[in-house]
């Protein structure tokens, strides 16, 4: 079968033939991958940055966002059957630690990540534990089911707070930020303001329903927000991983408001917690992954009932053998989400 691998330490990937998995563990499932989408994490591994060098152990089949069909199950599998269409939670929990036993599998102490710590889904067939498979509703197209994992990030980040009638600021309009715009609208936010510096993504933010898009390189974000809202925003959704965006975003939150942080900053950052958070009574949520499986149920319902339209985020669907073009689009930020079609 064909697979995209990080074959050696260094930049780039390789597509080559590898052996199809033959042996399943008792609770493993063999999935025929029909769609796989490219994530920012895949780009980090492709570039072989500092994080990748510390985490990835080549050779490794990469990729973690997928939609596929169950073709074989292990002897102890009870949750899925041959023929089921599934997507996958990429955080693989141990199911035994304190977090797993208390409803917090998404922050399992012994967490492994598909396509990072074990072979992933940029391949024709993948072995995935039944624990993390989600049978998505038949109304959801495969192209959209393959991005349910990052869509779940947007859902988790946005809906940790009650957005009904609230003014929301989303810093960063990458694919997850774009999805969050639609989630916030569906949840009843009264005003959704986003920030973005890239011209393509500014237009995409508008297409996805942002009421106002601010380019912080051209406008003072804090002054603009208080001019628009008078009292500031109720909720900050930080999606950029940019220190300046976080600092200014917190300044934009009204006293007693809330901030939900998904962006990854790549190291220590220096901000004044006294003046930005503590003395202003701001509640801050750290978001990682998706709650298993509360978030997945909400994501499924939003997509099934067409409350969110991911055609405004998925900009390219490419044949699997054009994966290099997909990574080129991602590296140059000329796209939203890129989906690879393996059918």
Q: List residues with catalytic annotation.
A: 41, 44
Over the chain, what HEC string results?
A: CEEEEECCCCCCCEEEECCCCCCCCCCEEEEEEEEEECCHHHHHHHHCCHHHHHHCCCCEECCCEEEEEEEEECCCCCCCCCCCEEEECCEECCCCCHHHHCCCHHHCCCCEEECCCECCCCECEEEEEHHHEEECCCCCCHHHHCCHHHHHHHHHHHHCCCCCCCEEEEECCCHHHHHHHHHHHHCCCCEEEEECCCHHHHHHHHHCCCCEEECCCCCCHHHHHHHHHCCCEEEEEECCCCHHHHHHHHHHEEEEEEEEECCCCCCCCCCCHHHHHHCCCCEEEECCCCCCCHHHHHHHHHHHCCCCCHHHCEEEEEEHHHHHHHHHHHHCCCCCEEEEECC
């Amino acid at each position: 079968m064909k697979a995209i691998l990080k074959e050696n330490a260094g930049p780039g990937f390789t597509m080559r033939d590898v052996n199809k998995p033959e042996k399943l563990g008792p609770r493993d499932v063999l999935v025929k991958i029909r769609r796989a989408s490219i994530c920012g994490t895949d780009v980090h591994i492709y570039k072989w940055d500092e994080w990748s060098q510390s985490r990835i152990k080549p050779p490794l089949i990469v990729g973690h966002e997928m939609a596929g069909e169950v073709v074989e199950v292990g002897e102890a599998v009870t949750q899925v059957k041959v023929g089921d269409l599934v997507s996958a939670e990429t955080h693989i929990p141990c199911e035994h630690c304190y977090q797993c036993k208390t409803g917090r599998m998404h922050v399992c102490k012994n967490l492994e990540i598909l396509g990072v710590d074990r072979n992933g889904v940029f391949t024709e067939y993948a072995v995935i534990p039944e624990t993390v498979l989600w049978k998505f509703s038949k109304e959801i197209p495969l192209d959209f089911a393959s991005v349910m994992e990052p869509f779940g990030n947007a859902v988790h980040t946005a809906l940790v707070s009650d957005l009904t009638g609230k003014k929301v600021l989303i810093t960063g309009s990458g694919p997850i930020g774009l999805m969050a715009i639609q989630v916030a609208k569906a949840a009843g936010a009264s005003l959704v303001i986003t920030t973005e510096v890239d011209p393509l993504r500014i237009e995409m933010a508008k297409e996805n329903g942002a009421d106002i898009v601010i380019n912080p390189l051209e406008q003072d974000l804090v002054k603009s927000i208080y001019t628009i809202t008078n009292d500031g925003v109720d909720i900050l959704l930080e999606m950029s991983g940019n220190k300046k965006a976080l600092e200014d975003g917190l300044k934009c939150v009204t006293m007693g408001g809330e901030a939900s942080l998904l962006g990854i900053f790549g190291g220590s950052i220096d901000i004044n917690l006294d003046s930005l958070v503590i003395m202003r009574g701001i509640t801050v949520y750290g978001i990682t992954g998706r709650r298993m499986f509360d978030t997945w149920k909400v994501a499924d319902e939003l997509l099934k009932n067409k409350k969110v339209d991911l055609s405004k985020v998925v900009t390219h669907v490419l044949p699997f053998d054009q994966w290099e073009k997909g990574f080129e689009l991602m590296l140059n930020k000329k796209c939203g989400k890129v989906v690879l079609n393996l059918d």
